[in-house]
Structure 1
């Protein structure tokens, strides 16, 4: 009986600490997802003339190539996409062009193997992937503006 009570208290204490760690991890995941969403919302450029759009599209291709560990898998008038790397935790990117009424919008989107688990939660490479993607998406517009 003397050993049972301390063991029970220790088990309950560890369970509570594990629950707190899990909640802290979930809170960090949510905050990171918010930061990624903000970066994704800023990872676009608008263009309005054909020469300007051609230049921006060319720059977007250079950006995708420079930021991706793999080569370009697909490139046409509406999509530039790097091949998915075989390695987990390595970001790769895709640019898409949407033509509108007088204005085209070019979006950048990052992807990374191992970022999410099968249930949609953070995968084992989440922190590394999120940082790479957030950084690249946040810098996309500045890169295009500087190069024009």
Structure 2
């Protein structure tokens, strides 16, 4: 009988260690995602520059979202939510700055169904989703700021 209790205690101890390791990994990955979000943000100045960067943002979203663009105007670009979990979809905002409206902030945000659990912690597909989002957000700025190469890829 005593041996069974030791086994139970060992199992509980292993589960606690695994849970602690999972939460530690989650915290590290969340930190990396926060850094990536800093790269998913650009400013523009002047109507021409802002219009060109917004067009490039739309192209980037069309290329990197698993779902099609369902809404796009001068302030928002939004792709549809996927039916299946583990699929990244994107959203961008263009927010005017200052009274003259000549400057704006453009921000990209990646989302993924199944990334977070009901407790706010990592969901079953957290690692897969986080890596996809991190990559997309980290590469956003360089794409938008690069010279336009070739025909537009507007798969909206």
TM-score interval, smaller chain: over 0.9
Indicate the structure whose relative CO is greater, using CA pairs within 8 Å and at least 6 residues apart: 2
Normalising by the residue count of structure 2, what TM-score does the alignment of the two structures yield?
Answer: 0.89
What is the CA-CA distance between 1:37 and the residue it aligns to? 1.0
Partner residue of 2:94?
97
Name the structure 2 match of 1:47. Answer: 44
Are 1:30 and 2:30 an aligned pair? no
What is the deviation of 1:87?
Answer: 1.4
d(CA) in 2 for partners of 1:107, 1:17: 42
- Where does structure 1 lack aligned partners over 5 or more consecutive residues? none
Map 1:1-148 → 2, pairs under 5 A: 4-101=1-98, 102-147=102-147
- Per-residue Cα deviation, 1:4-24 (whole angstroms, up to 9, x for no partner): 122111111111111000000
**Larger displacement relative to structure 2 (60-69 or 5-14):** 5-14
Query: Within 2, Cα distance between the matches of 1:45 and 1:131?
Result: 21
4+ runs deviating over 4 angstroms: none
CA distance, structure 1, for counterparts of residue 11 and residue 146 of structure 2: 53
Equivalent-residue separation in structure 1 for 2:67 and 2:19 (angstroms): 34
- Name the CA distance, whole Å, in 1 between partners of 2:69 and 2:24: 35
Of Structure 1 and Structure 2, the greater helix share is in 1
Unaligned ranges ≥5, structure 2: 149-156
TM-score of the superposed pair, with normalisation by structure 1: 0.94
Query: Residue 146 of structure 2 aligns to a residue in which SS?
Result: helix
Task: Name the SS of the counterpart of 1:65 in structure 2.
Answer: helix
